[in-house]
Amino acid sequence: MSSTHPPFRASDGERDRAIGELRDRAVEGRISHDTFVGRVDQALRARNQQELDALVADLPRRATFRQRVTGMLTGVVSAASDFTTNLQAAWRRPRLPRLALPDDDRRRYVVGRGSACDLVLADLTVSRVHAELRREDDDGGWTLVDLGSLNGTRLNGWRLVGPARVKSGDEVSFGDCGFLVSSGLPSH
């Protein structure tokens, strides 16, 4: 007569411990979400402790307190370093000249390299007739339109693919010539 007994049924507490272990590894990023979901399903269907043990046996060991603190400190130092780098880059960035939106009755304001333009830019990246600012009838605001320029017109870093509203504080560039939009100033 054999004395091997069937394995004991897994208790709810043992299932909870196994699922907690899986959850901790998922939170730490040590297992994928799909792996976590699949194994939780297996844990809920496990018939005994051996099946639960198999679900967590191959998981990476949990980081020690020292490793977690070291990881956090490394992240903080890295974030501070990134902030310093970004701040230095911002200070080194050249200050853009201002482009004052006309404060008169003009409806169109053409920008380009051509002598007939309202704003003449003598830069080879600017097309002869590059872009235009149009005053809107409803509120008197301005819309920027690229006129098929070769090197494009950008608003706040995005290349225009259609008309776009501009306001004071926006950055616009025609080819390589950048400006900071300001309004309310009289034109001359």
Q: What confidence tens digit (pLDDT) does each residue in 78-128 have?
A: 777 777 777 776 666 667 899 988 888 889 999 999 999 999 999 999 999
Give phi and psi for 150, each to the nearest 5: -70, -45
pLDDT of residue 127: 96
- Mean pLDDT calculated for residue range 21-27: 86
CA separation for the pair 93, 24 (Å, rounded): 44
Q: Is the pTM of this model over 0.85?
A: no
Alpha helices in 12-160 (DSSP H): 12-27, 33-45, 49-57, 65-92
CA separation for the pair 60, 19 (Å, rounded): 15
- Average per-residue pLDDT in the chain? 84
pLDDT of residue 64: 66
CA separation for the pair 142, 131 (Å, rounded): 13
- Mean pLDDT calculated for residue range 12-35: 86
Q: Which token pair is 144?
A: 């920027």
Whether 143 has a pLDDT exceeding 70, the answer reads: yes
**Which residue, among 144, 151, 136, 149, has the nearest Cα to 170 in the 3D structure?**
144
Cross-strand partners of 179: 172
The one-letter amino acid code at 85 reads: T
CA separation for the pair 133, 164 (Å, rounded): 10
The one-letter amino acid code at 90 reads: A
Kindly indicate the confidence band of residue 167, based on its pLDDT and cuts at 50, 70 and 90.
very high
pLDDT of residue 7: 64
14: left (phi over 0), alpha (psi -120 to 50) or beta: alpha
Kindly indicate the confidence band of residue 172, based on its pLDDT and cuts at 50, 70 and 90.
very high
Residue 157 makes CB contacts below 8 A (sequence gap 6+) with 171
